[in-house]
Structure 1
Amino acid sequence: MSKFKRAFIIVLDSYGIGREPDAPEFGDDVCNTLKSIAASPKYDTPNMKKLGLFNIDGVDCGTPEAAPIGSFARLRELSRGKDTTIGHWEISGIVSERPLPTYPDGFPADLIAKLEKAFGKKILCNKPYSGTAVIHDYGREQEETGGLIVYTSADSVFQIAANEADVPVEELYGYCKTAREMLQGEHGVGRVIARPYVGSYPDYTRTSRRHDFSLDPTGDTMMDALQRKGLDTIGVGKISDIFAGRSISRSLGINKDNVDGMEKTLKVMDEDFTGLCFVNLVDFDMQYGHRRNIDGYAEAATVFDRQLGEFMAKMKDDDVLMITADHGCDPGAPGTDHTREYVPLMIYGKHIKEGVNLGTYPTFAMIGATISDMFDCDLKTKGESLLPRIIKD
C-alpha cells in the first residue's frame, strides 16, 4: 500500500533559477530569475530556504541551509520551448520535441482573412504587442469599428482583446473557441487567449475575465495516468485551461491573484481526497516577470513563502509537496519575454528524506514520473521517477 494519499504540486510560474546551456537558441543571454529577485530588499523566503532552495546545484545566491528538511533538484527543460503550456506539459510527462509556432511578424494574411470571415468582424493590429499597450493604441479604433484586437507575443499565443462594452465576455469567448478550432496543425498555437477590458480612451483596464483556450495535450500526462486508476486530479488556477480540461476531475478556477490561489489550496487541504492537487500561481510571471518589476516579484515571493509556512503546518503524514516552476521570466533581463532557465524542484513530506541533493536532471518530466510512481500508475514519459532516491524506508 502506498505511503502517499495526497500530492500537491505548486508551480511558481516563471521562477527560474539560472540560464540553461541552450538559452542563446531561445534569444536569451544572461538570465537568472532567482538571482535577480533574491537581491531585492523585499525578498525573504525562509521556508523555501529550509526546503533547500539555495542548496540546489548552480544556485549562487542566498545562503544554503545547513540541514535542509526536503529533497531538492535542478531540472532542465528538454522541450523546445519556454512558455507556460510547454512547461506544464513537460512537468506532467510530455516532452515537446517540436516548438509550437510563433509569429514575430504577425499571423499570415490568408489566415487573418479566414478568421475575419469566420468572426464576421474586422481584425485590428495583428502584431506582437504588450497587452497593456495594445489596448491603449488600438482601443479607440476597436470602439469605432466594433472589431477585435488580435495580437501575439514571443510565446505561441493568439490573443483577442475587446472592450466588454462592445463585445460581451461570452461573445469574446465564442470568437476564441472559433479561433481555437481553426488554429490547428501548422498554426496550432499553444493558447488562444481572451483578453477583455473596460473603460474608454485613453483609460482602459484589463479585467480578470481572461480565459485561455489551450491546444489539447499531445501525449500522456500524469493526470491521465491517475484518472485511469480512478484517482482525483484537482486543478487550481490556470491548470484546467493549460490542459484543455483533460483529465482534470475538478477545477477551482482562475485565481484572483497568488494569495487567492494559495487560499484555495489551503482549503483543499481540508478535503478528504486521494490523488493530485496541481496548482499554478501565475502572478510571478504575469504581474512581475513580464513587467520587469524586480521588487514586486520579490515581494510576491515573500508573501507566498508565508502562506507556504501555513501549508506545511497543515500537511498530513501521507501528504507530499512538490514546488517547481515552468520556465523563467527574469525581471532583471532585457526585454519582456520569458527566459530559458533551469527550474527548482523541492520535495517535502513525512515520508520524504531530508537533505537529499538529487543533482541536475534533463527534463521536467521527472515530476510526472515521480507522481505516477507514488500512486503506482503507468505513465509513458521520458522522465524517470525520483521516488527510489527520496522515499524513506
Structure 2
Amino acid sequence: MPRAIVLVLDSLGCGGAEDAAAYGDAGANTLGHLAGACASGRGDREGFRSGALRAPNLDALGLGLVIEASSGAWPEGFSRPRAPGALWGYAVERAHGKDTPAGHWEMAGAPAAKAFFFFPRTDPCFPPGLTEALIAESGIPGVLGNCHASGVEIIERLGAEHLRTGAPICYTSADSVFQIAAHEDAFGLERLYALCRIARRLCDPLNVGRVIARPFLGDADKGFERTPRRKDFAIPPPLGNLLERLVHAGHEIVSIGKVGDIFAHCFTGREVKRDSDMAHFDATLESLRALPDGGLIFTNFVDLDTEFGHRRDIAGYARCLERFDARLPELLAAMQPGDLAVISADHGTDPTWSGCDHTREHAPILAFGPGVPGRAIGRRESFADIGASLAAHLGLPATAQGSSFL
C-alpha cells in the first residue's frame, strides 16, 4: 500500500495571486524576488552566505519552471531541466486571507467555510469587551500593545514594561490572529498558555483564526529573544479533510512541527514538535522509516516564515531554503516504491517586500517519488487539489473539495 509525505515550506509563495492587490500585495513573489535578490548580491552576508540562490535539488524537481509558470518571469539562478523529477505546477488559494490555517486546511482538501475575522488597523485594535473580559477572567493587571505590530519589534519595544508591570503584550497582524507575548520566567510559560486558552474561548464568537502564545526571554540590558516554545490555538478545521479521511480509514498520521496546532489537534495522529526546521527534517526521516503502509507524514517547516520572512531577512531566508534543499537527497533515499511526497506552501512572505506581513501568493506544487514520472500539472484552481490527489494516492474517499492531478 502507498504512503505519503507532505512538506509545507511555510511562506514559500511562487508569485502574486490575481487578487493580491486587495491585500496590498500586487507584485509580491517570494521565490522570484528571493532569487533575483541573491543574484544581485542583496542576499550576501559575510561569513553566512553569498551569491546566487543555490537550490539544485528543488531546481531538478522543476521549481524554476513552477516560478515561471506562476509569475511569468524566469527566476535568476535556476535551470530548465529537460526531464523534471516531479509533477510540477502551482495552486491558487480560494479561501479568503493569507493565513496559515486557511492555507493548510485548503491544502488538506477542505477550505475554510467562511472568512476569518481580522482586527482593524486602529489603535487600539481589539474590541474593548474582548480585552476587558480577558483581564477580568485571567486576573492580569492589563494588556500592553493592543495594536498591529511585528512580533520582534513589539517585544523589543514593550519587553521592559512587561517585566515591570506584569501585563502581557497583546498584538495582531494582517492575519486573523490574537497574539500574546510574555516572558517565560517572569510571567511563566504555563500561565501564558492558560491565558491563551481563555483568549481562544473569548475570540471564538468573532471567528478569529488563531490565538498564539509568543514566549520570550531576556531583559532590557541584554535584549529580548523569542523562544521556540510558541503554541498556536486554532479553531477546528472544516470536516471532510484528508486527515479526517485517514483516521476514519484506520491509517496512521504523524504531524510534525506546528501542524497539530494548526488543525486544533483534530485527526492529527502522533504529534512531534521540535525546535527548528532541521530538527523537523530529522523527525520526518525518523517517522518515514517507521511509517506503515497507507500512512501520512505532514510536516510544517516554519523557520522560513517566522525567523526570516517576517523580518525581511533576505540572506537568512535564502540560507534557510538552501539548507532544506541540501537535505532532499536524504528524503529521496529513504522513500520506498509507492511513496509520494508533495512540497508546497501555505502563503507567501516575500522577504524583499515592505512591512512584515504574509503576502497573498500562489503556492508551488512539486510531487515526486520512486517511479513517479515528472510532468507539468499546470495551474490548479485550489490548494485543495493537493489533498484530493493524496486521497486518491492513498485509496481514500475524495476530500470535500479539490481535483486530483495524479
Q: Contact 2:347–2:358 (CA<8 Å) still a contact in 1?
A: yes
- TM-score where L is the length of structure 1: 0.94
Equivalent residues in 2 for 1:178-257, closer than 5 Å: 178-185=198-205, 187-202=206-221, 203-253=223-273, 255-257=274-276
Give, in whole Å, the separation in 1 of the partners of 2:52 and 2:275: 22
In structure 2, which of residues 33, 51, 55 is the aligned counterpart of residue 45 of structure 1?
55
Equivalent residues in 2 for 1:124-143, closer than 5 Å: 124-143=144-163
- TM-score where L is the length of structure 2: 0.91
In structure 1, which of residues 101, 113, 127 is the aligned counterpart of residue 117 of structure 2?
101
| Residue segments in structure 1 that go unaligned for 5+ positions in a row | 388-393
User: Could you say what secondary structure the match of 2:289 adopts?
Assistant: coil
Cα offset, 1:282, TM superposition? 0.5
Q: Contact 1:42–1:302 (CA<8 Å) still a contact in 2?
A: no
Q: Which residue in the other structure is 1:85 paired with?
A: 101
Q: Which amino acid aligns with 1:9?
A: V
Give, in whole Å, the separation in 1 of the partners of 2:373 and 2:211: 41
Give, in whole Å, the separation in 2 of the partners of 1:287 and 1:165: 22
Give, in whole Å, the separation in 1 of the partners of 2:160 and 2:320: 34
User: Could you say what secondary structure the match of 2:187 adopts?
Assistant: coil
User: Could you give the per-residue CA deviations for residues 314-338 of structure 1, whole angstroms, max 9, x where no partner exists?
Assistant: 2111211111111111111111111
Cα offset, 1:100, TM superposition? 1.1
Give, in whole Å, the separation in 2 of the partners of 1:290 and 1:175: 25
Q: Which residue in the other structure is 1:343 paired with?
A: 363
Q: Which amino acid aligns with 2:53?
A: Y
Cα offset, 1:160, TM superposition? 0.9
Cα offset, 1:381, TM superposition? 2.1
Cα offset, 1:42, TM superposition? 5.0
Q: Contact 1:172–1:194 (CA<8 Å) still a contact in 2?
A: yes
Moved segments of 4+, more than 6 Å:
none
The answer on 1:314 being equivalent to 2:334 is yes
Give, in whole Å, the separation in 2 of the partners of 1:380 and 1:207: 36
Give, in whole Å, the separation in 2 of the partners of 1:272 and 1:7: 9
User: Could you give the per-residue CA deviations for residues 68-103 of structure 1, whole angstroms, max 9, x where no partner exists?
Assistant: 121111101011111211100110112225321111
Q: Which residue in the other structure is 2:70 paired with?
A: 58
Equivalent residues in 2 for 1:225-374, closer than 5 Å: 225-253=245-273, 255-274=274-293, 275-354=295-374, 356-374=375-393
Give the fraction of aligned pairs with identical amino acids, expressed as a percent. Answer: 37
Give RMSD over aligned pairs.
1.4
Q: Which residue in the other structure is 2:404 paired with?
A: 385
User: Could you say what secondary structure the match of 2:364 adopts?
Assistant: strand
User: Could you give the per-residue CA deviations for residues 202-250 of structure 1, whole angstroms, max 9, x where no partner exists?
Assistant: 4222111111111111332100001110001111101000001110110
Q: Contact 2:130–2:202 (CA<8 Å) still a contact in 1?
A: no
Give, in whole Å, the separation in 2 of the partners of 1:92 and 1:264: 21
User: Could you say what secondary structure the match of 1:270 adopts?
Assistant: helix
Q: Which residue in the other structure is 2:21 paired with?
A: 24
**Number of residue equivalences:** 381
Give, in whole Å, the separation in 2 of the partners of 1:150 and 1:58: 37
Q: Contact 1:235–1:250 (CA<8 Å) still a contact in 2?
A: yes
Give, in whole Å, the separation in 1 of the partners of 2:29 and 2:4: 28
Q: Which residue in the other structure is 2:47 paired with?
A: none
Q: Which residue in the other structure is 1:68 paired with?
A: 84
User: Could you give the per-residue CA deviations for residues 341-372 of structure 1, whole angstroms, max 9, x where no partner exists?
Assistant: 11110111124222x10110110000111111
The answer on 1:10 being equivalent to 2:7 is yes
In structure 2, which of residues 173, 183, 193 is the aligned counterpart of residue 173 of structure 1?
193
Give, in whole Å, the separation in 2 of the partners of 1:296 and 1:197: 21
Give, in whole Å, the separation in 2 of the partners of 1:96 and 1:270: 33
User: Could you give the per-residue CA deviations for residues 266-293 of structure 1, whole angstroms, max 9, x where no partner exists?
Assistant: 1112214231100100011111111111
Q: Contact 2:89–2:380 (CA<8 Å) still a contact in 1?
A: yes
Cα offset, 1:114, TM superposition? 1.1
Equivalent residues in 2 for 1:145-164, closer than 5 Å: 145-164=165-184
